[in-house]
Amino acid sequence: MYNTSPLPPANSPKLMRATRSFKQDGILLRILQSQQKRKSIDFAKGILINKAVSTIIPTSTT
């Protein structure tokens, strides 16, 4: 009915490798997310600055 094979020992190479790669993926994901946030904040800042500049200095001054 159930697979009663014992879990591999905590210090088995396969398990260690799996947890290591999992940790690395987690760190990478966190880095990517923080970069994404920073990018979108910079993007929003850029839009706001552009809007402010275009309202202060009308582009149709010819």
**pLDDT tier for residue 6 given thresholds of 50, 70 and 90:** low
Mean pLDDT for the chain?
76
Question: Contact at 8 Å (CB) between 8 and 14?
Answer: yes
Mean pLDDT of 45-55: 81
Is the dihedral angle over the CA atoms 28, 30, 32, 35 positive or is it negative? negative
User: Who has greater pLDDT, 41 or 2?
Assistant: 41
Residue 41's φ and ψ, nearest 5 degrees, are -65, -45
Mean pLDDT of 40-60: 77
| pLDDT over 60 (residue 25) | yes
Q: What is the C-alpha separation between 12 and 9, in angstroms, rounded?
A: 5
Helices (H), 1-62: 13-56
User: Which tokens is 5 given?
Assistant: 């094979």
